[in-house]
Each structure stands twice: as C-alpha cells, then as structure tokens.
Amino acid sequence: MKKKIIMTFVSALLSSWIYAQEVITVVEDSGKTEVFDMPEGMLISEEELMKDYTNANNLTEGIVPSRTLSYSDSILVSRLSRIPTTIEMPLNDVTRKFIDTYSNRMAGSVSVMLGAANFYNPIFEEALERYGLPLELKYLPVIESALRPSATSRVGAAGLWQFMIGTGKRYGLEVNTLVDERRDPIKSSEAAAHYLHDLYDMFGDWGLAIAAYNCGEGNIQKAISRSGNQEGADFWSVYNKLPRETRGYVPAFIAATYIMNYYCEHGITPREASLPLESDTVVVQKEVSFAQIVSMCGNVTIDELRAINPQYRKDIIPANYVLRLPAGAIEDFVLKEDSIYNTHPSNTASNVRRTVTDDMETTITTQTTTIRNTSTRNGRRSRSGRNTRSRQAASRSVAVKSGDTLSSIAKRNGTTVQKIRQLNGLKGDMIRPGQKVRVK
C-alpha cells in the first residue's frame, strides 16, 4: 500500500510539471481559486508560429510592448460593448485573465496571427455569411489552432477549426491517405459554419453553441439537465456544471475577439505573413505532385504550395481535386497544364507511391539522369510540340464580372453550365466577381 501511495504522489508531481504552462489560475475576491485549461491554440509558441507564417528574407517585425499595458475594467467593458456582434461579451475575472494573457505574455503570438488573419479572415467570413452567423466566430480558430492548418491536438483534432475525424466526416470533410480536408481552409470553414449553425439551432444561445463546439452537444445537454434550468439556459447559468476546459473556452474566445480588435491599444502591430494576399483555384485533371508543378511554374515554390494547400498530406493532388495557387501563378499553370502532367521530376506522384505502370518503356526512379527513349511515354509516342501547344491553347479560363452567372458565362463562351461545373469542381451556382472560372 505504501508503494502505491508513493507512486501516485510522484505521478501527480510529474503531471503538475508537464501541464504547468497549460492552465490559467484565477483567484476570486472571495479567496477561492479556480483553474482553467488553456485552449490548444494558446499552447502554440511564438517560435512555432514564426516558422509557419514568416519569411526570414522578407519579415516585417511586429511591435510588442516592452511593458505591460493594463486597462481598468470599465475601459475593457466599454471596448467589448463596442464590438458589433450578437454574441454576449461580458467581462469577469476569467475573461480578464485571458485578455491579460493575450495582451502580455502572448503579445508576440498575437502579432504573428494578425498577419495570417489577412489571408484567412475573408475565407472564414464568406462561410459564416452563407449561414447567416455572427462574423466574430472567425476568431474561434485563434483559440483552436492559432490560425495554423497544420495544428493537431493531443486527441487528434486537426486543422484551423480542429475537427475530429468523426465530426469532420459528418459535415462532409474527406480524410484518406492523400487528403485531409480538415486542413483545407475553405472546406473546413464551410463545415465549421454548418456545425455552428446546427449548434445554435439546438441551444438558442451563442455561449452554449460555442461551448458545445468545444466539448460536444451531449456534454452541454448534460450540463443543462444538471443545472435544473431547462428553459432559457445560457452559458453562464450552466457554467459550474461544465467540464473545466469548457468553462475557460468561452472566456478565451471573448478574449481572442477582444485582442484581435484592440491590439493597437496594447502596442501590438501585425507581422507580415508569407501568405499571398490573393490566390485562386483550379481543378486538376490528372493526379499531379507539387514537384511537377514547381518544375514547370517558376513563380511558385513547394513551400508556398504547402502553405496554401495544407490538405494534401503527401504533396500529391489526386485527379479532379482543387489546387490553390497565388493569383499570379494561375495563368502560368493553365497554359502549361498538359506539360505539367507529363513531366517526371524525381519525386512525382508515381515515385512517391512507389509504383510504375507495366507498359512504361523507361523506368523512372529518383536517381534517373537520362531517359533511354525520349519519344515514348507510357508505351505511347509523345505528341509533337505543335500538338502540345494546341492542347494548351484549348484550356481557357475567364474572370467573373459583376452580375455574371454560370448561365451567362456559358452562353458567352459556347459551353454549358454543367460543363463549367465539371471543369471547376462546383456543386452549386455560387461564383464571385474576380474569380477565375475555367470554361474549356
């Protein structure tokens, strides 16, 4: 028995040491101490964020305060009340503690996230707008993932919005060996907006809906039942019945919303992120690797492709999937598309898969320096340069103008709405001005 007690004590000490940086402690006026787990996004260091989002050759340093900039409760309350939202934003001891953490100890991380937000916020806002949700929900990924699509939690949640595989698949996100759409900024944002819409319909309170996003709707239902407040329940009325992490989750969201709006008042300025300000998409017709694209398109790097296409786990894009490129690289890709599919750099999709078709006359490996017969490919004679250029010219994209519909674009370009949907991987009719749409 004595040995068991000692081992338990040692285990408790080790556990306290490991998680010492993962909690926030609040001491109330009554002297009562309460401990809150920090959301995953608050555990990512500034150094990790810098690796993801900054270019050492082109870095604008964010200004982080050299001293603590603290404000009275009345000023914080006034600022929170001026955020134009339908989500309740109260200030209390817990919310204040999270605001202090973001504005002081995490000021450097906030500086990096502000730069990344220039790329991600329009994506988040578009998805939230489609479901008629408060746009301030775009700050949930700040506490979930620190705006990192590569983020993976201790329990396996992944991506900007930290979807578990089960919930992700329930909302249409594909996860397989090559693709993890939980990391796709656009598709995961659509899924998150749909999920949040369903949660609000279920609970009728944004505090409860946000809490349910963290711990699941079942735990919120249990908390409501245990509180005895079935009618008119809100987050604060069931607060004491919630899991410890969830009790801090909503205050952390309020704090993130505050700091992303009032960072200037705390002496923080955004760092310049190495993400393109403008990007566009194209549906690839054949399986292709990042290496193949880079070998033909000199104005984009593999690191850039990985940064804006984080859903592709092996640097391979399967046929009929979407490729996102910096806006200036789209035209180059479309013009060279056929040639890109036919290139064979050392790490093509075929080599990554370790397979070679039986009818190939030339074995291609990572050590290949010569090709025995350059006139053959996959047992077929390659086309002449003239025919290749003709096929490239046949691929054409147009920019969507204000007032355009798929029907009007199809009519102008002698094609059909169904064909345009197929070429661009569109499921509906939604297009936006400035978007590039492939018509041939």
pLDDT at 1: 35
Q: CB–CB of 100/70 below 8 Å?
A: yes
Rounded to whole angstroms, what are the CA distances from 438 to 14, 165, 327, 331, 368? 58, 32, 14, 11, 35
2-266 CATH choice from 2.40.128.130, 3.40.50.720, 1.25.40.10, 1.10.530.10: 1.10.530.10
How far apart CA 285 and CA 341 sit, in angstroms, is: 9
| Phi and psi at residue 44, to the nearest 5° | -85, 125
Q: Which of 48, 26, 22, 27 is nearest to 37 (CA)?
A: 22
Rounded to whole angstroms, what are the CA distances from 201 to 9, 66, 131, 212, 422? 46, 45, 12, 12, 34
How far apart CA 216 and CA 198 sit, in angstroms, is: 12
Task: Look at residue 179 and give its three-state secondary structure.
Answer: strand
For 28-89, list the strands marked E by DSSP. Answer: 33-37
Condensed to tens digits (0 to 9), the pLDDT of residues 18-71 reads: 333 466 665 555 556 777 788 888 888 888 888 887 653 334 455 555 556 789
**Helix crossing, 93-100 with 244-262: angle to 10°?**
60
pLDDT at 403: 67
Least confident of 10-14, 53-57, 84-88: 10-14
How far apart CA 94 and CA 34 sit, in angstroms, is: 9
Condensed to tens digits (0 to 9), the pLDDT of residues 167-181 reads: 999 999 999 999 999
Is the pLDDT at 134 greater than 70? The verdict is: yes
- pLDDT confidence band for 307 (50 / 70 / 90): very high
Close Cβ partners of 12 (under 8 Å, ≥ 6 residues apart): none
Residue type, 23: V
SS3 content of the chain, % helix, strand, coil (to 5): 50, 10, 40
pLDDT at 11: 35
Condensed to tens digits (0 to 9), the pLDDT of residues 141-165 reads: 999 999 999 999 989 999 999 999 9
- pLDDT confidence band for 294 (50 / 70 / 90): very high
Class of domain 396-440: alpha beta
DSSP state of 163: B
Residue ranges per domain, the chain?
A: 2-266, 279-395, 396-440
**Which residues does residue 66 pair with via DSSP β-bridges, in sequence order?**
none
**Which residues does residue 377 pair with via DSSP β-bridges, in sequence order?**
380
> In angstroms, how far is the first alpha carbon of the chain from the final one?
77
| Pure H helices in 146-243 | 165-170, 185-203, 206-215, 217-227
Residue 323: its H or E element: strand 322-326
| Phi and psi at residue 113, to the nearest 5° | -65, -35
CB atoms within 10 A of CB 50: 16
pLDDT at 67: 56
Mean pLDDT of 192-221: 96
Region class of 377: left (phi > 0), else alpha (psi between -120 and 50), else beta: beta
Rg from Cα positions in the chain: 26
pLDDT at 370: 33
Looking at every residue in the chain, the average pLDDT score rounds to 80
How far apart CA 135 and CA 125 sit, in angstroms, is: 6
Question: Active-site residue numbers?
Answer: 144
Contacts 24+ apart (CB under 8 A), 427-435: 429/405, 431/400, 431/404, 431/405, 431/406, 432/400, 433/400, 433/401, 433/402, 433/404, 434/399, 434/400, 435/280, 435/399, 435/400
Task: Report the predicted TM-score, pTM, of the whole model to 2 decimal places.
Answer: 0.73
How far apart CA 344 and CA 405 sit, in angstroms, is: 39
Q: Which of 161, 89, 343 is nearest to 152 (CA)?
A: 161
Question: How do beta strands 33-37 and 23-27 pair?
Answer: antiparallel
How far apart CA 251 and CA 207 sit, in angstroms, is: 9
pLDDT at 348: 53
